[in-house]
Chain A
Amino acid sequence: EAQVTQNPRYLITVTGKKLTVTCSQNMNHEYMSWYRQDPGLGLRQIYYSMNVEVTDKGDVPEGYKVSRKEKRNFPLILESPSPNQTSLYFCASSLSNPGTGVSDTQYFGPGTRLTVL
């Protein structure tokens, strides 16, 4: 089954404790992206990747890191989480980069709810 998976689905942690949220897709997609969703603010892009070893900042990259060592995986790293990073996080992937038409449809993972105390 074609899908985007995220782990963990729920995470409660404390300020300053490094954490990684994994994202994996099995559709051989080129473009992958991380978003955070907060009440009243909608979906905001954190980082995106156009291909292996190619990543770039989205709207709200501060406090986050990403890597794309393999095509299927795109982990989100919080080196020193703070309470303002408490949010719902979504990973997404698409066959091609945005602006290419139908093949840039994004497929979203189920979300990771992160609470930083």
Chain B
Amino acid sequence: LAKTTQPISMDSYEGQEVNITCSHNNIATNDYITWYQQFPSQGPRFIIQGYKTKVTNEVASLFIPADRKSSTLSLPRVSLSDTAVYYCLVGGDSGAGSYQLTFGKGTKLSVIP
């Protein structure tokens, strides 16, 4: 199973771009990389997902290098409302009938006015 490693915390000023990197050295061929955002006292919610190269949606971009052993979530021009914990999730069909999912420990992003 692919284990993930993320920075525990990050600080950023409003309006800056924030990049959060997740390491997943043992990622399997069938694994997708998904990022979730969690506010206090709420369940995580989906931000973005990718398999390789770059993915962009209305809230974030996800950069995945060719070897897929890491991924970087990019949040453009953060605001105070982006203060949250961000989780990297790697998972897929291991090929042995296992669909276990492993979250990282999360990165607590604090946006400063």
Residues in chain A within 8 A of chain B (CB atoms): 4, 31, 33, 35, 40-45, 48, 50, 56-59, 90, 92, 97-102, 104-111
Contacts and interface: CB of A to CB of B under 8 A. Distances in A.
The residue in A40, A44, A48, A104 that gathers the most chain B C-beta atoms within 10 A of its C-beta is A104
Given A43-B87, A56-B99, 15 more contacts: A33-B101, A42-B87, A42-B105, A42-B106, A43-B103, A48-B99, A56-B98, A56-B100, A98-B31, A98-B93, A98-B101, A99-B99, A101-B49, A104-B91, A106-B101
Interface residues on B, range: 20 to 34
B30 to A, nearest CB: 5
Contacts of B42: 110-111
Given A42-B106, A44-B103, A56-B99, A98 B43 contact: no
Contacts of A48: 99-101
A33 B36 CA distance: 15
Main secondary structure of the interface of B (DSSP, over half): loop
Contacts, number: 77
A42 B106 CA distance: 6
Contacts of B102: 45, 59
Interface string B67-97: 0000000000000000000010001110000
B100 A99 contact: no
A69 B76 CA distance: 44
B49 A106 contact: no
B64 to A, nearest CB: 14
